[in-house]
A = this chain, B = another copy of it.
């Protein structure tokens, strides 16, 4: 397949290099194709990938891969030219620079609302990210399902984690309560996979470590 990769950083570089190794034709679209980092990347790709302008990458690819920082995404797409009818793989995330949230679309969460309603309570968001079958039996062949939790009170979080471990879950601390903005969409992902994508309820998410 002819793949135009816009951006040659960690993500674009790794994807393009590996696709080139697998026999795909890869053209990296970058600002400066003579840049030392780009040359090292081409060399690491065993000469099977090339570099050119963002416009060339957009024109070259049957598949175009957007792998820029979010702040550069709009201008990169403009530079890429007409992409009508092409497959565009969007690998970006609209991250705030301090990773405190997403810059668009995400403004609050149910967990924060609950904390506002239950004034003074030590709210922990937990047991919202999987189905009740998994609560009844969190053990999978490969190990226990992961249970993420978040909150602002560390002793309450320890209690919550203990109660999750009591049921057989692998509890993982996801940070402060504002992270409910992540755990609620995560829950909806599980729910839509179960009920809309046809997976049913017999699956779980597991955090695996090397």
Interface residues of A, Cβ cutoff 8 Å to B: 1, 3, 10-11, 13-15, 18-19, 22, 24, 63-67, 70, 73-74, 77-78, 80, 82-95, 99, 101-102, 104-111, 113-115, 117-128, 131-132, 135-136, 140-143, 145, 148, 153, 155-156, 159-160, 163, 166-167, 172-175, 179-189, 191-193, 195-197, 199, 202-210
Instruction: Quote the shortest CB–CB distance from A68 to chain B (angstroms).
Output: 11
Q: Do A92 and B117 form a contact, CB below 8 Å, given A135-B18, A208-B141?
A: no
B residues near A15, Cβ cutoff 8 Å = 127, 135, 167
Cβ A104 vs Cβ B94 within 8 A:
no
B residues near A63, Cβ cutoff 8 Å = 159-160, 163
Cβ A90 vs Cβ B123 within 8 A:
yes
Instruction: Quote the shortest CB–CB distance from A39 to chain B (angstroms).
Output: 19
State the CA gap A89–B111 with chains docked (Å). Answer: 9
State the CA gap A127–B204 with chains docked (Å). Answer: 20
**Which of A19, A78, A128, A182 has the most chain B CB atoms inside 10 A of its CB?**
A182
